[in-house]
Amino acid sequence: MNPSSTDSADRDQAADGAASGLANFVVAANRLPVDRVTLPDDTVAWRTSPGGLVTALIPVMRAQQGAWVGWHGAPDETLEPFVEDGLQLVPVPLSTQELAEYYEGMSNATLWPLYHDGVAFPEFHREWWDSYVDVNQRFTKQIADIAAEGATVWVQDYQLQLVPSLLRALRPDLRIGFFNHIPFPPVELFNQLPWRDQILQGLLGADIVGFQTPAGAANFRQAVRLRLRYESKAGWIGLPDGRRALAKAYPISIDAAGFQALAQQPDVQQRAAEIRAELGNPRWIFLGIDRLDYTKGIKQRLRAFGELVAEGELDSDEVVFLQVATPSRERVEEYRLLRDEIDRLVGRINGDLGKIGVQPLTYLHSSYPREEMAAMYTAADIMVVTPLRDGMNLVAKEFIACRSNNDGALILSEFAGAAQELKQSYLINPYDINGMKARMLEAVNDSPKERTRRMRSMRKQVFTYDIDRWASDFLTDLGR
Ligand code: GDG
């Protein structure tokens, strides 16, 4: 990846930054990319969280004297900036009340459902908004304090939508990028938000506002045009202060080569065989892996699968559905209700259709190491990804990266950002249960040759547009 880091002016600037302790490249995200762990001898250490974003940005951070600004994961605690694994980390403190209002409230119970087509009712509370403004201001101050003159700042995601304009007001010398990891809704929905104009103005502080899909970028430009009366041309929005901001799609991806290498490790391959055996060596393993979230369409897919088994379209002696639901946002009411609903649904399907020692659904409410995830992707035959709305969906891409034999089928919702790229998947509408059932059968009944043809083409896409390409496309545009 080469985000304009190689010419000598940039090197001089990096050297200046290093001398001053200031950063020439700053990433800001709700969370720092580290988790605190207690070691067996009771000492406390930080471990880098192995997400794709971190992996992609580490080389840029190292080349450019980078810093990462974010919350460290524990409330009511203020920590000094520290260096971990060569990364300069700047913790932003959050109080217990802010966690409830800015994070669980405004971010996860207002913006998250609203931006996902309102598939759950968004709640609007003025005190949540006030807290969101306060926390965005705190992030801004920390970034402004650490950023060197003329530095590049890349703000991540919907928790920090006010940071770009707050930061520009404090530090007009900076280059500011913003990337929204979730969808940006159509203006008819966005208009429900009492603070809609503040959010638009907040984002327009950036030089580039990045989205997962062209539709997200178009929704944003339309909201800006209708609400603020700023016109745009070829993605560029003209602003009253004479600046321009680019609203454009940069579809995020994964470390495809890294995932493939992980899946090819002998221990992972062996674990994949064990998983198949533990599931009773069925002819077909269907797999779902999601954070337990109402946007992911877990109920819909289980219902479709259960009906196929009940109707004898799929033979209960030949198929198993393995569904992993990683615990998520457990303090938010909607998520607790969803967990209960899925527990009931799984119990009913297995109760109705199971036999002694044979259950069509294996449901795991737990999280797993990456090696185990790669083993599951390898063990499966049919990956089922059915969100009602999803910014991108990296699970779909991870499955593809693990299929070096070019086998396996991906059933994918047309409402996931990934559907824009993975056109050779078995596309479904998750609201259409009969349609979904038909596609599941098609994936099973197609010839191996047809599945291979589809997988080859999807692998080409995922390996060409990987996470490095994503970051370099964005940062190259931002550097122009
Ligand atoms: C948001 C947007 C967008 C899951 N369980 C475990 C685990 N995971 C990993 C997966 C994958 C990631 O979490 C989930 O990413 P998704 O993209 O599927 O979904 P969100 O969490 O909703 O992510 C989404 C994404 O941001 C990036 O922009 O694609 O649309 O909603 O990487 O592998 N990882 C491990 N154990 C688990 O149990 N190790």
Residue 149 C-alpha to ligand 1 middle, in angstroms? 34
> Which residues' Cβ are closer than 6 Å to ligand 1?
181-182, 252, 289, 291, 326, 367-370, 373, 390-395, 398
Q: What stretch of H or E contains 88? A: strand 87-91
**410 falls in which pLDDT band (50, 70, 90)?**
very high
**50 falls in which pLDDT band (50, 70, 90)?**
low
Query: Is the pLDDT confidence value at 156 over 90?
Result: yes
| Strand, coil or helix: 16 | helix
What pLDDT score was predicted for residue 476? 97
CATH of domain 256-464: 3.40.50.2000
**21 falls in which pLDDT band (50, 70, 90)?**
confident
For the 8-253+467-479 domain, the top CATH level (class) is alpha beta
Distance CA 47, CA 244 (A): 39
Q: What is the DSSP letter of 466?
A: -
Render pLDDT for 284-339 as a digit per residue (tens, 0 to 9).
999 999 999 999 999 999 999 999 999 999 999 999 999 999 998 888 888 999 99
**64 falls in which pLDDT band (50, 70, 90)?**
confident
State which ligand 1 atom lies nearest to the alpha carbon of 398. 33
End-to-end CA distance of the chain, in Å? 15
The three-state (H, E, C) secondary structure of 159-181, written as one string: HHCCHHHHHHHHCCCCEEEEECC
**14 falls in which pLDDT band (50, 70, 90)?**
very low
Specify the range with the lowest mean pLDDT, choosing from 57-61, 328-332, 434-438: 57-61
In whole angstroms, what separates CA 310 from the centre of its chain? Answer: 34
Which residue has its alpha carbon closest to ligand 1 atom 34?
370
Residue 291 C-alpha to ligand 1 middle, in angstroms? 7
| Strand, coil or helix: 256 | helix
Query: Is the pLDDT confidence value at 1 over 50?
Result: no
pLDDT (average), residues 405-413: 98
Which residue has its alpha carbon closest to ligand 1 atom 1?
181
State which ligand 1 atom lies nearest to the alpha carbon of 418. 29
Phi and psi at residue 215, to the nearest 5°: -65, -40
Distance CA 160, CA 179 (A): 10
Give the percent of the chain with pLDDT over 90: 86
What pLDDT score was predicted for residue 19? 54
Angle, vertex CA 252, rays to CA 295 and CA 30, nearest 5: 70
Specify the range with the lowest mean pLDDT, choosing from 48-57, 174-183, 215-224, 293-302: 48-57
Domain 8-253+467-479 shares a fold with domain 256-464: yes
Dihedral (C-alpha) 292, 129, 103, 163: value to the nearest 10 degrees?
A: 110
Numbers of helices and strands, H then E, in the chain: 18, 18
Residue 407 C-alpha to ligand 1 middle, in angstroms? 23
pLDDT (average), residues 422-435: 98
Residue 133 C-alpha to ligand 1 middle, in angstroms? 27
What pLDDT score was predicted for residue 247? 98
State which ligand 1 atom lies nearest to the alpha carbon of 50. 39
In whole angstroms, what separates CA 361 from the centre of its chain? Answer: 26
Residue reference for tokens 């349609």: 435
Token pair for residue 111?
């913006």
Residue 398 C-alpha to ligand 1 middle, in angstroms? 10
Closest CA to 370 of 76, 49, 79, 122: 49
Residue 287 C-alpha to ligand 1 middle, in angstroms? 15
Mean pLDDT estimate for the chain: 93
Query: Is the pLDDT confidence value at 359 over 90?
Result: yes
Strand partners, 211: 249
What pLDDT score was predicted for residue 383? 98
The structural domains of the chain, with segments of one domain joined by +, span 8-253+467-479, 256-464
State which ligand 1 atom lies nearest to the alpha carbon of 391. 30
